[in-house]
Amino acid sequence: MTSDITEEQWQRLRVHFGDLAYEHPELHRAMLDLLDAKDLDGAERATKEMRADFAEGLAV
């Protein structure tokens, strides 16, 4: 982990985003913003989109 987040924040990211959190430390702040968002449905959609983008990148 190479970002400026706390251990508690890191654990939240790992629980929700799994390997994406490890693979993309540059997105940690955006991921935390999603988790802290009041629009949890929007956060869930964004998570699914991030996972789909990541999987698509692996397929290339």
Q: Length of the chain in residues, anyone?
A: 60
SS3 of residue 35 by DSSP = helix
pLDDT one-digit tens code per residue, 21-38: 999 999 899 888 888 876
Q: Which helix (H) or strand (E) holds 52?
A: helix 40-59
Q: DSSP letter string over 7-34?
A: HHHHHHHHHHHTHHHHH-GGGHHHHHHH
Any idea where the domains of the chain sit in the sequence?
A: 7-59
> Structure pTM?
0.60
pLDDT at 44: 75
- Tokens at 21, concatenated: 């959190």
Q: Which residues contact 5 (CB under 8 A, 6 or more apart)?
A: 13, 28, 29, 32
